[in-house]
Structures are given as C-alpha cells and as structure tokens.
Copies of this chain bind each other. A is one copy, B any other.
Amino acid sequence: MTDIAARLAELHITLPAPAAPVASYVPAVLAGGLLHISGQLPFEDGAVVTGRMEGGDDLTRGVRAARACAIMLLAQIERALGSLDRVERLVKLGVFVASAPDFADQPKVANGASDLMEKVFGEAGRHARSAVGAAALPLGALVEVDAIVAVRPD
C-alpha cells in the first residue's frame, strides 16, 4: 500500500467509481505536465447533494458536499493517472457554492474540499483556491469543484 493509499484507508475513504461526465466532455486532460479535472458534483449514496446556501444556514451540509466533490476529484485523478502517487502537487481548486445573495461563507464551505486534500496529500495537497457563489449549479448541486494538478513524469 502506498503512502496515499494508506492515508485514504486511515480516513476511511473508499474512492467511488468516478462519475461519468453529465455531457459531451471528458473528466480530465493532461497537457504540459498539468492535469485539468472537470468540475465535480457532490454525491452521497449515489445521489447529487442539492440546494443552495443562505445566510445563517448551518454550514455542515455545505462542508460535507465540498468534501464529497473532493473525493470525486480523487477518483477522477486516480483514473486519469493510474495512481494518486503520480500527483506532484495539487495546484488549484476552483470551488463554486450555490449561494443566495446573502451567503458569505463560501471559504468555510470550500474548506470541506481543501482540508481533505491536505489530509490526503500532505504538503503536496496545499493548493491555491478560488471560492465563489454561483447562482445555480448543474443538477441543482450545492457545490461544484474543479482542479488543476501537477503530475510527476512517469
């Protein structure tokens, strides 16, 4: 078991089958040493976590949704690269949180994804990030996260 596989096991995370794209594109493209991964939606028990965050809402559901997006990103990275051990550095997360105009805690929601990445990859999981409020997301999703990963040469 590699280090990263061990960390996933410690975190009791089993990677799901990576979600098929909702449409006519692909989950990830590697070019110039950077893997660009398509925006991933949050799945729990096979269903998309839907809704939008409003000011005053308990953040737990959003944080869990962002973490679920990150788990799907991991599944896509593993499928694209063959192994998570080829990740040299997580470069960037783009986090979109379906938000009412009065919701201002996108960063705390996004931490659900960011914290997991740091737990899984350690120092290599520390990334740049944008977190913004979206008017609406595909399938009514609560959160969507895309990513750029620097890949170790084979």
Contacts and interface: CB of A to CB of B under 8 A. Distances in A.
A130 B108 contact: no
Given A23-B114, A25-B93, A39-B130, A31 B88 contact: yes
Nearest to A119: B24
A81 interface: no
A77 to B, nearest CB: 12
A91, A128, A134: residue with the most chain B Cβ atoms closer than 10 Å: A128
A104 B28 CA distance: 22
A7 interface: no
Interface in A104-136: 104-108, 110-111, 114-115, 118, 126-136
Nearest to A136: B133
B23 A107 contact: yes
Nearest to A139: B104
Contact of A150 (B31, B96, B104, B107): B31
Contact of A114 (B25, B130, B139): B25
Nearest to A76: B128
7 contacts: A25-B110, A29-B90, A39-B130, A99-B135, A100-B135, A101-B136, A130-B144
